[in-house]
Amino acid sequence: MRTGEPRVVIGLFDGVEKAAQAAHALRSLPLPEENVTTISSVPLPDGAVTRDRRPIRFPWIVVVFWLAGALGGLALTLVTYQVYPMITAGKPINTVPPAIIVSFEGGMFAALIATLVLGFRSIGLGPFRSGKKVFDRRIHEGRIALCARVDTGEQERLAIEAMTASGGEAVRAEEGEL
Amino acid sequence: MKSENHLSRLDESKLYDELSRSNLPATKRWYAGTGALLLVVLASVAAFVYMMFTGLGVTGLNRPVMWGVMIILFVFWVGLSHSGTLISAILRITRATWRAPVLRGAEAMTALALMVGGLYPLMHLGRNWRFYYILPYPSSRQLWPNFRSPLLWDAVAITTYLTGSLLFLYFGMIPDLAIARDRAAGWRRKLYTFLAAGFRGTHAEWRRYHVASTLFAVIIIPVAVSVHSIVSWDFAMAMVPMWHSTIFAPYFVAGAIYSGIAGVIAVMVILRKAFRLEKVLTPDHFDNLGKLLLTFTLVWGYFYFSDYLTAWYSRFPEDWEVIRSYSGHYLPIFSLLVACNFLIPFPLLCLKRVRQSIPAMFAVSLVVNVGMFTERVQIVVPSLARRNDPSIWGTYFPTWVEISFIVGSIAMFALIYVIFSKLFPVVAISDVKEQLFHTTDRTIGGANFSTVVSGEGKEEGRET
C-alpha cells in the first residue's frame, strides 16, 4: 500500500553479472538511470552495474577555506608584530618568514577541515544525511543490493519482476530513499 | 573475457573475522600486556611530575647544552610519524596494488606517534602548568605568543599535522566502521554507528568517497613535508655550528621518511604476528617496503654526506670543532649512526632474500630506528656542547629522569597503539576487499599471473 513516501525496490544478487543484468532490465522498463543504484561492500567500477552521472566538480570550497585560513594566519602574525614590535634601526619591522609559515599552516589546516566537510556533504554523511535510507546488511556477506526508486505501483511491480527474473533474492519494496 | 575475481572465492564474513581479529574481546594476556605498558608509562609520568615540582635541574641539561632528551624525543617521534600518512597518501594517489594491508597501520602510526612526540616540547618548557602561554589569546597580562620563535611554528605545524592525520585516519576508516557497525553489538555498535556517520556503500557514495579521500591525500602530503621542515628550522634558524644550514629542511624530511618507513615495517611485523595476518601481509609487501627503505637509505646517505661535506671542506672554525668532536668525544655516537643508518642496512636491503624475510626486515627496521635516534642525538648535543666560545664548552649526559622519558615514550606509543587496535580494525578491510575484487587470474602461455583491474569502466560502444 502506498503512503506517499518515496519507495525503493531492493533485491540482493550473488555476483556482479546478475546485478548488471537486473540493472539493464530495470533501465529497459524504463526507469531513469539516476533512479537505479547499488549498495555493496566494495566499490564497483562505474558502469559495472550502474553509472553515476552526477558531475564531481572542482572543490572550490577547499580553495576558499585555504585562503581564509592563510589570511587568518597572516592576521595572527601581523597582530603579534603590533604587540611586540621589533625595533630595528629605530623602526619597527615585520618579519616575513614567520608570517609565511604560519599562513601556510593556517591555510592547510582550514583546507583539511574543508575537505572533511566537503566529503561528508558530497557523500551525504552525518549532519548532511536526510530521510530514511534503504539498506541491507547482507552486503557484508558478499551480496550486491540493487536498488531502484519507483514512482508508481506499476513501476514497483515491474521492477520486482525484473529483479526476480534476473536472479534477485529477497526482492521487496521499502519506504525510504536511495 | 569473463573471469572470477579473488574476492568471490572467499567467504566475506570469514574474511572480516580474520581481518578484525584485533577487535575480539580482550583476553587475560591482553590485560597483562596493557597493564605492564601502563605501569611503565605511569613511572615515566611520575618522573615528569618529579621534574615539574623539582625543576629542570633534575635533568642533565646545563649550560651550554640546554636541549637534551626531550627535544631529541620530539624530533625522533615527529620523524617517525612522518612516513605513515605520507606513505599512505602516496600509495592511495598512485593506487599501488599492494597498498591495502599497509594503509591503516601506517596511518595510525603517524597519528599516535605524533601524539607522543607532541608532548615533549611541552614537557621541555619548564613551568609546564603555564603551557597555555603559547596559545594566542587576549589576556590581562598583555601576553601574546612571539611568532618569531620557531617553537611557535612547531606548535602551529604539529596542530595542523595532528588534526590532518587524525582526520585522514578517520576518513579512511569510514567504510570499515560501517562494516563494524553492522556486525557489532552493545556499546561498540553505538560507537561505530556514530563514527560511520550513515555510510552505506551506494555506488554514488563510493565514487565520492574515493574522490574525497584522494583530495585528503593530496592535501596531507605538503603538510607532512612542511612539519618536518619546520622541525628542522628549530635548529637551522639558530646561529649554532652545524645547524645553520640551508640543506637542513630536505635533510630532515628525508631522515623522517627514512625512520618512518622503518617504523611502518616494525609495526607491520608486530601486527602480522599478533593478529595472525600472514595471509594478508605477505613477504611481497615487506619486499616492497624494503625497496622503499633501501631508496631512502641512499637518499638519507646522500643528504648526510652533502651536509657534512660542505662544513668539512669549508672548515669554518666553529663548524670544524664540532666535526672534530665526532671523531673524539662523540665517536661512539657518530660510528653508531653511520653503521645503523647506512653501513648495515644498505648492503642487507640490496638482497631480495633479506627483504622477503620478515624477521630480517624487523631487525633491519629496528637497526635503522636506533640509528635515527642516534642521529637526533648527534644533531642536538655536539653542536651545543661545542658552541662558538671554547670557554663554555661542556658535555651532556641524560639523568634517570630523562632515560625514563625515553622508555616511557616507547611504552606510551605501544599502549596507545594496543588500545587503538582493540577498538578499531588495524587493517583497511574495505581496501583489502577492493584489492581482491579487482584481482583476477590470467594465463599467458604456460604461466599464471594475477592481474589487477584499474580505472573506471567505459560505456559500451564508446571509444576508449
Interface test with B, best of A82, A129, A137, A140 (most B CBs within 10 A): A140
Reading chain A (178 residues) residue by residue, the pLDDT tens digits are 555 678 999 999 988 899 999 999 999 988 898 899 999 999 998 888 998 888 888 889 999 999 999 999 998 888 777 777 777 788 777 778 888 999 999 999 999 999 999 999 999 998 888 788 899 999 988 899 999 999 888 989 999 999 999 999 999 999 988 8
Domains located in chain A, CATH noted? 7-53+131-175 (3.30.70), 60-127 (no CATH)
Q: Give me the CATH number covering residue B112.
A: 1.20.1630.10
With cell 605545524, the residue in question is B157
B115 within a domain of the structure (yes/no):
yes
Q: Identify whether B133 is part of a domain.
A: no
The answer to whether residue B136 sits within a structural domain is no
Which whole number is the average pLDDT over B420-435? 90
Within a domain: residue B138?
no
CB pairs under 8 A between A and B: 180
Provide the number of structural domains found in chain B: 1
CB B383 within 8 A of CB B322: yes
Instruction: Pull the grid cell for residue B442.
Output: 590470467
ipTM: 0.92
Percent of chain B's residues with pLDDT above 70: 95
Phi, psi of B437 (to 5 degrees): -65, -35
Please write the tens of the pLDDT for every residue from B279-314. 888 999 999 999 999 999 999 999 999 988 888 898
Amino acid at B177: L
**Strand ranges (E), B268-381:** none
Nearest residue of B to residue A37 by CA position? B203
Residue window 84-113, chain A: list those with CB within 8 Å of chain B. 84, 86, 95, 98-99, 101-102, 104-106, 108-109, 111-113
Q: Is the bond preceding residue A30 a cis peptide, omega within 30 degrees?
A: yes
Separation in Å, CA B429 to CA B10, B20, B104, B212: 14, 8, 9, 18
Q: Sorting pLDDT into bands at 50, 70 and 90, what band is B401? A: very high
Grid cell of B19 as nine digits = 581481518
Helix, strand, coil in percent for chain A, rounding step 5:
50, 20, 30
Region of A135 (left: φ > 0; alpha: ψ -120 to 50; beta: rest) is: beta
Confidence of residue B417 (pLDDT cuts 50, 70, 90): very high
- Average pLDDT of B180-203? 92
Residue B46 pLDDT > 90:
yes
Laid out side by side, the sheet with A36-39 consists of: A36-39, A144-150, A7-13, A169-175
Q: What is the pLDDT of residues A50-81, one digit of tens each?
A: 988 888 888 899 999 999 999 999 988 887 77
> pLDDT for A75-93, tens place per residue?
888 877 777 777 778 877 7
pTM: 0.92
Q: Is B429 helix (H, G, I), strand (E, B) or coil?
A: helix
Q: Which residues pair with A38 in a beta bridge?
A: A146
Alpha-carbon gap: B118 to the closest alpha carbon of chain A (Å): 16
Report if residue B455 sits inside a domain. Answer: no
The three-state secondary structure class of B62 is strand
Whether B324 maps to a domain, the answer reads: yes
pLDDT attached to residue B464: 38
Q: What are phi and psi of B371, to 5 degrees?
A: -60, -40
Provide the pLDDT for residue B454.
Answer: 67
> Residue A140: its chain B contacts at CB < 8 A?
12-13, 16, 179, 182-183
Check CB contact under 8 Å for B206 and A40. yes
Cα–chain center distance at A137? 20
Picking from B7-16, B84-93, B302-311, which range would have the lowest pLDDT averaged per residue?
Answer: B7-16
> Using CA atoms, how far apart are residues B404 and B49, in angstroms rounded to an integer?
12
* Phi/psi of residue B127, nearest 5 degrees: 40, 60
The residue segments making up the domain with residue B46 are 26-126+145-434
Rounded (10°) CA dihedral B125, B127, B131, B132: -150
